[in-house]
A and B are shown apart, each in its own frame.
Chain A
Amino acid sequence: DVKVTQSSRYLVKRTGEKVFLECVQDMDHENMFWYRQDPGLGLRLIYFSYDVKMKEKGDIPEGYSVSREKKERFSLILESASTNQTSMYLCAWGSGYEQYFGPGTRLTVT
């Protein structure tokens, strides 16, 4: 059974904190993605990675960075959390036409 796990289901952080969201996939796949999902806006791509130590900006990378030190792990970093980063964060692996998502992390920044 394919597994994508994310470090937390719910997270509450304060404005200005550095936040780490981790994602692990067990399919040995090269491609991994980070999205955020907001009501009325759908899924928006933040960053993606084709392989270890590789990263590409998505549509909304501002305020975020990523790390991919191992193939199975892709981390999203909020350098200084702000209230407008309150959202559902979804990690995925796969290709452009077929992706598999983790359960998501609902982050609240107060």
Chain B
Amino acid sequence: GQSLEQPSEVTAVEGAIVQINCTYQTSGFYGLSWYQQHDGGAPTFLSYNALDGLEETGRFSSFLSRSDSYGYLLLQELQMKDSASYFCAAPNRDDKIIFGKGTRLHILP
């Protein structure tokens, strides 16, 4: 089977850096994706890591370690608009995605 575990909530201060972790157990692993979802909105794709290491896209970075079955999303220079839920997700060989249950990010002014 497959499962992805991430914290249910994280709180950080505006302007700071926050890391959202995701650990996974999968029968076959192809990579780790991240999605952002604002209240009332649809999930939007942020990044995908197929290989170990850090991928940077502006203020957001995503990291993967296959040996540790672990990844994280790093958000820098936090802004109030980053308040949202963040989901890690992993595809399987059938092109389906398994999603984590999401981490709600609260940002304090």
User: Inside 8 A of A104's CB, which chain B residues have their CB?
Assistant: 42
- Interface of chain B: mostly helix, strand, loop or mixed: loop
Is the CB of A45 closer than 8 A to any CB of chain B?
A: yes
Cβ-defined contact, A98 with B33, below 8 A = yes
**Interface pick from A13-21, A36-44, A60-68, A71-79:** A36-44
Give the interface size bracket for A toward B: 20 to 34
Give the interface size bracket for B toward A: 20 to 34
Contacts A41-B101, A42-B100, A43-B43; A96 near B87 (Cβ below 8 A): no
**How many Å lie between the Cα of A98 and that of B95 in the bound state?**
10
Cβ-defined contact, A97 with B100, below 8 A = no
**How many Å lie between the Cα of A100 and that of B48 in the bound state?**
13
Interface centre among A33, A45, A97 (most CB of B within 10 A): A97
Cβ-defined contact, A95 with B94, below 8 A = no
- In chain A, positions 52-110 with a C-beta closer than 8 Å to chain B are 56, 58, 90, 94-104
CB-CB contacts of B72-106 with A at 8 A, as 1s and 0s?
Answer: 00000000000000010001101111011110000
Cβ-defined contact, A90 with B43, below 8 A = yes
Q: List 9 A-B contacts (CB under 8 A).
A: A40-B101, A42-B100, A43-B43, A45-B97, A97-B30, A97-B31, A99-B45, A101-B44, A102-B42
* B interface, CB within 8 angstroms of A: 30-31, 33, 41-45, 48, 50, 87, 91-92, 94-97, 99-102
